[in-house]
Structure 1
Amino acid sequence: MTETLSKAWSLFDAGNYTDAETLYKECYAKIPSTDHDNYWQVLMGLIYAESFLEHFAEARTYASQLISCAIDHEEKHIAIHQAGMIERMAGAYDKAMNLFLQEEALIEKNFPDDALARSANLYEQGYVSMKLHDLPLAEKNMLSALDFAEKSNDLISIGCAYRGLGEILKASEKAEDAAVYFEKAITAFQKAGDTYGVEEVKELMSK
């Protein structure tokens, strides 16, 4: 099972979402929900594969199962985060924001010192606020996401927050400020060895 899950994730990571989905579904058919750790990994994999394939109804079903099987506050906030990600990718921004606010309340109550969790949550809130055309709130949330990312010393989170700020300022028609943030994002992703992250930012800059 571990080998199959590892192969499925490699396929997903390479952008081969259909084959990843097939493997995850094979695992899902075999695995009992009592095998918590593997069941959790399979549901997470299915959520990602179905979301990237834009099979949002299926993704929502798996997210609902993920929330139901969460055994502690940490798993609950991760599961709610995944549900929010699905709604954001589906363009259901109001639903996404409600879920990320639920997640934020859980983190503040149970993990107030988890800078990485707070950064990921505020990044999503910032991005969704931008999609809802509330650019001042988007910038405020994304600056908070950057602050927590820097406290966590996680280069990927730092790069994501800088990229988010670049997108928000570009949407605010502050092209020069946006370019500065995009360059900082590229630097962070390069330090992390994330070539995909670098290319993504370059693509945003060229639009």
Structure 2
Amino acid sequence: MLAEVWDAINGGDNARARALLEADPALLASDAGQMALGYALAHAGLFAEGRAVYARLRDAHAGEPREHLYVHQLGMVERLAGDLHAALRLFGHERELIGSLPPAERAFKRAVNGYELGLCRLALGEGEAARAALAAALADAREADDPMTRGCVHRALGDLAAGSGDPDTARAEYGQAHADFQEAGDERAAAEVRARGAAL
């Protein structure tokens, strides 16, 4: 059932995801179910509700290795809600928590964190800070051998180049993102980023 929930979320059908969760009370009450619920709520624009879900999870797991996951999700909610400075504070705290994880886990976690930092800086119009955060995230994603995060970072770098009036670099970044998303098996993301390149 959880896989169906995430399929609905990834397809943009957050209402169906919530309905599936509500139809399975045991799943809904679990940490995994709450993680999915918060994501569906936030992406449906229900920021207060999504924030409350992740705040409860963070409080329940404070001091545990998993705490950084919920801090990350709280940062995502704030980014989606447009409170970029609050998001940056949360992602900064997440970065500190990642530093206490086993070394083998850090590159992937830093890559995802750095991608979010880059998105926030990009949304704030801080081009050079965004580029630096995304470059660091890309290095970590390569170290972690994570094509999905590589694709996300290249897509963001393409957006940065497009917004800076550099369509050639943007096309190259979108092309690399397309290849990475295909490697990750995410055809929806691959098609979307290909459309961005074609629109330049």
Counterpart-to-counterpart distance in 1, 2:103 and 2:166: 33
- Shift in Å, 1:180: 1.1
1:184 aligned onto 2:176: yes
Cα contact 1:73–1:106 (8 A) shared by 2: no
1:4-31 per-residue CA deviation (whole Å, 9 max, x = no partner) reads x34333332333211211232454xx44
- Shift in Å, 1:111: 4.2
Distance 1:112 1:141, change over 3 A: farther
Q: Counterpart of 2:73?
A: 82
Identity of aligned residues (%): 29
Q: Which moved more, 1:140-149 or 1:193-202?
A: 193-202
Counterpart-to-counterpart distance in 2, 1:59 and 1:119: 23
Decide which of 186, 189, 196 is 1:197's aligned counterpart.
189
- Shift in Å, 1:72: 5.1
Distance 1:179 1:10, change over 3 A: closer
Counterpart-to-counterpart distance in 2, 1:26 and 1:71: 29
Q: Counterpart of 2:57?
A: 66
- Shift in Å, 1:94: 0.8
Q: Counterpart of 2:92?
A: 101
Q: Counterpart of 2:132?
A: 140
Distance 1:38 1:116, change over 3 A: farther
Opposite residue 188 of structure 2, the aligned amino acid is Y
| Number of equivalenced pairs | 198
User: Counterparts of 1:5-84 in structure 2 under 5 Å?
Assistant: 5-27=2-24, 30-31=25-26, 39-70=30-61, 73-84=64-75
Counterpart-to-counterpart distance in 2, 1:81 and 1:39: 19
User: Counterparts of 1:118-133 in structure 2 under 5 Å?
Assistant: 118-133=110-125
- TM-score (ref. length: structure 1): 0.87
Counterpart-to-counterpart distance in 2, 1:65 and 1:25: 18
- TM-score (ref. length: structure 2): 0.90
Counterpart-to-counterpart distance in 2, 1:110 and 1:126: 22
Root mean square deviation, CA, Å: 2.0
Cα contact 1:150–1:158 (8 A) shared by 2: yes
Counterpart-to-counterpart distance in 2, 1:60 and 1:178: 33
Residue segments in structure 2 that go unaligned for 5+ positions in a row: none
Residue segments in structure 1 that go unaligned for 5+ positions in a row: none
SS at match of 2:66: helix
SS at match of 1:139: helix
4+ runs of 1 displaced by more than 4 Å? none
